[in-house]
Amino acid sequence: MKKYSPSEEVDFVVIGSGAAGAVMAKQLGLAGFSVVVMEQGPWGAYGHEQDYSKDELSNRFPAEDDTLISDPSKYRNTFRRNASEKAVAGNHSYGCVVGGGTVTYGASSWRHLPWEFDEASRFGTMKGTGIADWPISYKELEPYYVQAEWEIGISGPNLKSPLIAPMSKPYPVPPLPLKSSGALMQRAAEKLNLVVTPNVAAIITQPYNGRSGCIHCGMCSGYGCQVKARSSSAVSLLPIAVATGNCEIRVHSTVREISVNAAGRATGVIYLDKKNDNREVFQKAKCVVLSANGTETPRLLLMSKSGRFPQGLANSSGIVGKYLMTGNGGGASGLFSDPLNEYKGCVTGAAVLSYVPNDVKGRGWYGGGRMTARGQQSPIQYGLGGPHNAPRWGAGYKKALIEQANRKLTMVNFISQLPIETNMVDLDPDVKDAWGLPALRITTTSHENDFKAMQFFIDKSVEILKAAGATTVWADQVSDSRGGAHARGTCRIGNDPKSSVANKYHRAHDVPNLFIVDGSSLVTGGRNHPTMTISALAYRCAEHLVKAAKAGNVTI
């Protein structure tokens, strides 16, 4: 791998190696630019993926260098429902390894639908929310979805339906098996007239681009993939970036500031070299690409205060960190008479699409959701969670645990969440992370509308499980989100510098050589599956950036 000296001014520093950062690194490297990718986490089993552990206990209590997801006791964060509360310790976490969240995610890879890009014009705004149009249309983004799907490797059904975004090119690989969960959804679909399809996933089902197909090992979401079937950034994109000879991935490197000069241009980044006593290093760069995720990206901008940017970098609008959408859920569970064995195979086999569209008149609330069904995953998780309606220990616990084993199915739903200005990421004034940096603070309470949405999907889940033949069904309580993997919206793109952080090509309105692209770029949240859209946005951003850089339009 190419190595650069920090004092050498590279063309680009890319902060983050996940769904967006890896696309940027690859495209910029291929175009001949020098690139340093800053990754907070370790290598993981990059390049020797067969060494990923499938051991549930080790995965639950990983050694420090085997950690794939940020540990909230070190990557400390706090949480509160609203600004009048004092924040308490939070358990927000995210992928923290070369490849970011794509190394361990469930890998659902749905596109946003065309009408999810102009909701304000199409459906109108709503009081108390920040519903706004995106500065780009689905049509403009569509070619980049295709590019992302084919380069990353996405499996899915090729269907034409108003419930699925129209595609100019089919998925490169056929879909995953439906599993028993999917078969049961189909059973319910016949009675309730629902549309059920195999899931769209960044998991290849047959050899593709030199990688092997999924062997359905079952230790999937939360685990690294031993056979490279999960199309993570670490196996699909970063090896190509590194092979250009232009790109260095620098691990254990936590950026704490994007530095600027008197002219207000980015000059590079200050990062903590965590394997060298956390010494501070300044990496010079002509241009900075920020792809650190929907919570870490705004945090870094807010930490990058200077005389010129007293309220944080790229934040003249004051909305960096605001309009946070963490993703709502809520569903129900049921028991079936025969074993589903859902612990085999990937986490999600099928999706119910019928309630993706809006139906404000019919339902009395705005939004929609994609429903999935998943069962018991791994033995320790099952044992600790315990059986339904049974004691927590003793003979009754054991009896129920054995009786219910492999027979449970849970509807896990991905529900729209409205962007609200007061839902945000900012810096905790009191708490510091393990490196002495201000802890990330999450403030969030969903809109009243979204509680109705959650209740709708809980009720629908009960109905579907009953129609599928469940012998016992129980509903979740409505529960507002607190953080987690799907954070979006905190540096929204837009045409107006007063109401957005970056422009339609992801260039920060305030800093001409700073580009921000990741979950934070999303204006509205879609139906909560953000990764495919993040990848597509990155491809589009990269194309623009390569052209601009070649024209000398982003240098200091």
Partner 1 sequence: MSATRRTFLLRGFSAGTTAWLAANWPAQVAAVESAQAMGHFTFFTPAQAMEIDAMAAQIYPSDSTPGAKEAQVIYFIDLALVTFAQDKQAIYKQGFADLAAKTGGRPLGAMPMSDQIALLTSIETTPFFRTVRDHTIMGMFAAPQHGGNFQKAGWKQIGFDDSLNFRAPFGAYDKA
Binding site for partner 1 (CB under 8 A): 54-57, 61, 177-180, 182-184, 187, 215-219, 226, 336, 338-345, 379-380, 382-384, 392-395, 397-398, 401-402, 405-406
CB of 329 to partner 1, least distance (A): 24
CB of 352 to partner 1, least distance (A): 16
Calpha distance 488→533 (Å, rounded) = 11
Is 217 or 240 the residue whose CB approaches partner 1 more closely? Answer: 217
Q: For residue 200, give the 3-state DSSP assignment.
A: coil
Is 75 or 138 the residue whose CB approaches partner 1 more closely? Answer: 75
CB of 47 to partner 1, least distance (A): 20
CB of 484 to partner 1, least distance (A): 23
CB of 383 to partner 1, least distance (A): 4
In single-letter form, the type of residue at position 174 comes to P
DSSP-derived secondary structure letter, 110:
P
Q: Are 490 and 320 in contact (CB under 8 A)?
A: yes
Longest alpha-carbon distance in the chain: 73
Is 127 or 392 the residue whose CB approaches partner 1 more closely? Answer: 392
CB of 200 to partner 1, least distance (A): 17
Instruction: Match 């987690």 to its residue by tokens.
Output: 484
Distances (CA, A) of 231 to 100, 148, 202, 523, 543: 12, 11, 5, 26, 22
Is 346 or 442 the residue whose CB approaches partner 1 more closely? Answer: 346
- Report helix, strand and coil shares of the chain as percent, to nearest 5: 25, 20, 55
Looking at the chain, the number of H-run helices and the number of E-run strands are: 13, 17
Is 126 or 183 the residue whose CB approaches partner 1 more closely? Answer: 183
Is 227 or 556 the residue whose CB approaches partner 1 more closely? Answer: 227
Is 83 or 89 the residue whose CB approaches partner 1 more closely? Answer: 89
Is 238 exposed, middle or buried (CB count within 10 Å of its CB: 0-12, 13-18, 19+)? buried
Where in 182-246 does DSSP place strands (E)? 196-198
Calpha distance 402→154 (Å, rounded) = 37
Is 166 or 339 the residue whose CB approaches partner 1 more closely? Answer: 339
CB of 73 to partner 1, least distance (A): 10
Strands 279-290, 514-516: pairing kind: parallel
In the structure encoding, which two tokens stand for residue 403, read together?
Answer: 């009786």
Is 393 exposed, middle or buried (CB count within 10 Å of its CB: 0-12, 13-18, 19+)? exposed
CB of 252 to partner 1, least distance (A): 22
CB of 196 to partner 1, least distance (A): 13
Is 18 or 345 the residue whose CB approaches partner 1 more closely? Answer: 345
Is 15 or 188 the residue whose CB approaches partner 1 more closely? Answer: 188
Residue 508's H or E segment, with its range, is: none
Q: Which of 218, 186, 188 is nearest to 341 (CA)?
A: 218
Angle (CA) 45 51 52, round 5° = 70
Calpha distance 333→509 (Å, rounded) = 46
CB of 347 to partner 1, least distance (A): 13
